[in-house]
Structure 1
């Protein structure tokens, strides 16, 4: 799955929490909202049909949006800053050392499922174990792969200890509202950010065991909203109503995290065209615009058009083999410097992307550096230093033929590299052939996209892209020195950055050094960082925060409030469904 997403630039999964770890301090408080914000009303959102509403299997953008709106996780991500803030857990202490990592969490005592059942440490153990359990078969289980006992609960060991196939042995109750998570082979204090992923939302495992089929249709979680009725794939509307037993999560949201709308309706559609038409017809007030119409829509509806971050970046992969043309770092750097990234963003993506300035997307928060690679990724193309090895050479440029933008990017690459005397032959391939070539190894440059998949940290995002043997390293680049630096310094706890620095500062410094080294080696060529685009009907909706989109480019629906509308203006054409 990772390779398919990496190569085809598939829709982002919206499950990474990719800002650097932020430890709770006395400064964490309730975000302030707009004075105009008011409660009540219904928010209507147009989305593609979700795969699942069970947090353990919510791997696509639509599923993640519904789950993130409905459920709370142990930790949350501030919609504006991207920092970790308390959720169901009000305190957490990650402790990384040479023996692994231990995370101590204290739980709030006022958290309840919609039926009034209190959430305690035992509930959390059951819920996280369910996510990892083999029989649950959730697509997001690998988020917990570093937890002690993961191999037992997944059925990957012979003669596992008693009960270890039912419960993660590395998630332990320390007191009724305290627990410990043990990561025996991972020295990474930043792992804790995975506990803010929507997939780790705390659910009622007892209800799931009692009636698995019903739970799949109507999962029970601790959060501000709940499903009004069981949901079946293909149902035209997903209706969320308030959880009357919700007591808030004040650090992550305004209005104590309870949301402003009385109900949130997700209208589901088979195609983006159908979803967009529903917005045009007034059925929904929030939807993603069609890429081909972004420029026209942004000009026609400037008050309704909003953009934000996106985890997806587009790269040109360079097949790396000892002795081939692309083994020489000077060749790779010259090819990078020759690209006109602004022209690619304008012509291929019509404003839907911005030129890449490094290897990490902007949404990684404090780990993002606006000019991480100024010499290697110049704002203005630089073709003055042309390696002689390129002159007179001919190479293919492979890309998946399912996205029109890929052909436009290829045209720009052809024109740019011609300045070096290099002839580039655009070679579009259908999905099956493209993936088959990737398995066997590309023999020429190729276009690829990477959104971090399930990577939980900026370190993992970068490591998976460039370290030998990693899933996203499709170019098969290999540099032993770089590998050792990631393994020994970046992944553990940011390396020893210096006296007086806390874990976060060490991580940031080590990651910055790693990205600088990657810039010098240029294992793949960053081209553009994508942007998230949404239409939000301004006359119908307001936002309690600065933007209606969160730091990850998704609608922060708990921060959206409904403008009162005269009853005679209400639409009568909205699709309906039995609840």
Structure 2
């Protein structure tokens, strides 16, 4: 089965050199807090990265930083979801979809001077497969477990069986990765930032510094919390992480193997959790760009001359329900009551950018497998009250978790969205107990371990296959949802191993219909997130996957 794509040329905006040497706009910024001249680009991030080793990441703020320094075997076309070459210019699989062969680019150098070879690729995958101890907690190995299953020696019943079999290097620039079963996660999974390729010297150093703790008290390995050890192949290299001030600095890597070097010498990610504060920092000239612009701020910024491109829709916001927390939540009538109680269109109208839509299922309508025949739950508070009464749950109390100190592409203002949903639930007689938690790491760990009755969360697709949404949540029991439904689990297990794309898409429609009849949670909305830049910036190509390449940035 041949699925190789030609390596797409990286898209860079013209006028790099002239803008970098002498720009009138830049000279006016020399004395401000943005870091000085046009060689420094400062971006306002919504949250701190969890680590500067992308292998340990599971959130967009981590990957936004690491994506600039680390590269994957395959990638996505600029501004789209089509798979193209990355560190591998070609790839293919056998007919069964169990052997994936990658033909690597020549002359690729890591930040520490090491060379990319097929043996290095295998060393990376074998490192993840052999993780032990705290590494097997999903806080650190979420994507490995989601895409490749468990480990060489699983240490917990909660860890899935491994699907990774091994990696071989038949020659210096050919790597073949073998899996036990085909999966809808491949080849898209090879584009995930979590599977970026690290230098062999760095991997050797990583082994001397293990994580510790369990549950909500995970301590990341020290090397992943400070610059100096990690080494990728990207156009930037991490030079400093001042965690106390929430600032990561990356420097241009002058030996970058790609066609064009980064357009600025330094790239700084400065954490500014509140959207209004990010907007004010942009308006004051303290930063040159920020993500997740509040809908109400878009027109204001554009009128002031700022650039505010809007990405395509490729995400879902939902209210998760952990059924095993209390018996009432195991009753489908109660879950239906929750769905009918929520005014999702009000969320769209008041909280999301133009182009946002109320969701009917757990994938956006831009993903193949979206069904027009799912059961829907219109806003109907009277019906919600009737269903609660029929279920004997008129006195239902829910602990409702929501995140703080973060903004997400699908959730521009978590506290505001929570307040609207809380009011909807209380309007039908439900008692809501708020449980705010800091996003990183408390919120993610608490929701994954089943620590809330209901909670707000969402997903921006990693690649364009419905399994990346549905399979992430519903291909088997997880504490994050706390239910058992063999029909849904079997459907998604079957579709996961179906090699034919057209057949898979029809099966996704069936799965969506079964999921929405069972109603494990309430899909709320999909949102086209905005990103803002100052007038003097040559923009990167914006991505529906929120995977912008800041090497494309320069100053006019």
Q: Distance in 2 between matches of 1:149 and 1:355?
A: 33
Question: Are 2:457 and 1:449 aligned?
Answer: yes
Question: Which segment drifts farther, 75-84 or 52-61?
Answer: 52-61
How far apart are residue 111 of structure 1 and its match? 1.7
Match of 2:176 among 180, 183, 191: 180
1:481 aligns with 2:487: yes
1:338-357 maps to which residues of 2 (within 5 A)? 339-347=342-350, 354-357=357-360
Residue matched to 1:553: 546
Given the two structures, how large is their TM-score scaled by the length of structure 2? 0.73
CA distance in 1, matches of 2:50, 2:285: 25
Q: Secondary structure at the match of 1:527?
A: strand
Partner deviation per Cα, 1:31-90 (whole Å, 9 max, x = no partner): 766667777453321234433322333444333112101221111122322122111112
Is the 1:134–1:154 contact (alpha carbons within 8 Å) kept by the matching residues of 2?
no
- Maintained 8 Å contact 2:16/2:263: no
Deviation at residue 439 of structure 1 after TM alignment: 7.0
Distance 1:148 1:317, change over 3 A: closer
Q: How is 1:507-526 mapped onto 2 (pairs within 5 angstroms)? A: 507-526=504-523
Cα distance in 1, alignment partners of residues 507 and 145 from structure 2: 24
CA contact (8 A) 1:348 1:408 kept: no
> d(CA) in 1 for partners of 2:223 and 2:426?
54
Contact 2:316 2:523 in 1 (8 A): no
Matches of 1:108 and 1:528, distance apart in 2: 40
SS of the equivalent of 2:187 reads: helix
Deviation at 1:304, TM superposition (A): 3.0
- Which residue number in structure 2 is paired with residue 262 of structure 1? 264
User: How far off its partner does 1:425 sit?
Assistant: 3.1
- TM-score between both structures, scaled by the size of structure 1: 0.70
Task: Kindly indicate whether the alpha-carbon contact (under 8 Å) linking 2:353 and 2:527 is maintained by their aligned counterparts in 1.
Answer: no
Contact 2:369 2:507 in 1 (8 A): no
The answer on whether the counterparts of 1:202 and 1:221 sit within 8 Å (CA) in structure 2 is yes
The one of 458, 473, 479 aligned to 2:466:
458
Partner of 1:53: 52
Structure 1 residue 122 displacement after superposition: 0.9
Aligned residue among 498, 503, 514 for 1:493: 498
In structure 1, the residue matched to 2:254 is 244
Alignment partner, residue 571 of structure 1: none
1:119 matched to 2:119? The reply is: no
Partner SS, residue 496 of structure 2: helix
Equivalent residue number for residue 317 of structure 2 = 313
Aligned to 2:34: none
**Could you tell me which residue of structure 2 aligns to residue 89 of structure 1?**
88
Contact kept, 8 Å, 2:282 with 2:288, in 1: the verdict is: yes
Give the conservation status (yes or no) of the 8 Å contact 1:276–1:289.
Answer: no
SS of corresponding position for 2:198: coil
The CA RMSD over aligned residues, in Å, is 4.4
**Distance in structure 1 (CA, Å) of the matches to 2:133 and 2:85:** 27
- The verdict on how the C-alpha distance between 1:221 and 1:135 changes in structure 2, with shifts beyond 3 A counting, is farther
Offset of residue 311 of structure 1:
4.0
Q: Which residue of structure 2 aligns with residue 143 of structure 1?
A: 143
Say how many residue pairs are matched. 489
- Cα separation, 2, equivalents of 1:111 and 1:172: 19
Q: Give the structure 2 partner of residue 224 of structure 1.
A: 235
Task: Provide the rounded CA distance (Å) in 2 between the counterparts of 1:242 and 1:437.
Answer: 37
Aligned mates of 2:2, 2:266 — CA distance in 1: 30
Secondary structure, in 3 states, of the residue corresponding to 1:63? helix
Q: Find the aligned partners of 1:557 and 1:143 in 2 and give their Cα distance.
A: 24
The CA deviation at 1:328 is 4.4
Partners in 2 of 1:128 and 1:76 — Cα distance?
Answer: 17
Question: Deviation of residue 116 (structure 1)?
Answer: 4.7
- Tell me if the contact between 2:293 and 2:530 (Cα under 8 Å) persists in the aligned partners: no
Question: How far does residue 526 in structure 1 lie from its aligned partner after superposition?
Answer: 1.2
Q: Distance in 2 between matches of 1:224 and 1:436?
A: 35
1:24 correspondence with 2:4: yes
Answer whether contact 2:57 2:194 (CA < 8 A) is retained: yes
Aligned match for 2:430, one of 420, 424, 431: 424
Give unpaired runs (5+ residues) of structure 2: 21-37, 158-163, 209-221, 405-414
Measure, in 2, the Cα distance between the counterparts of 1:71 and 1:298.
Answer: 35
CA apart distance, 1:146: 8.0
Please give the alpha-carbon distance, in whole angstroms, between the structure 1 residues aligned to 2:73 and 2:140: 16
Mapped to 1, the partners of 2:532 and 2:167 lie a distance apart of 42
How far 1:266 sits from its partner (Å)? 1.0
Change (3 A) 1:508 1:147: closer
Distance in 2 separating the partners of 1:60 and 1:322: 29
Helix, strand or coil at the partner of 1:70:
coil
Choose the corresponding residue for 1:283, options 275, 283, 286. 286
The 2-side partners of 1:558 and 1:440 are apart by: 39
SS of 1:482's equivalent in the other structure is: helix
Quickly say closer, same or farther: Cα 1:196–1:22, change in 2 above 3 A. farther
Summarize the alignment of residues 364-375 of structure 1 with structure 2, pairs less than 5 Å apart. Answer: 366-367=367-368, 369=370, 372=372
Structure 1: gaps spanning 5 or more residues: 1-20, 158-167, 249-255, 495-502, 564-579
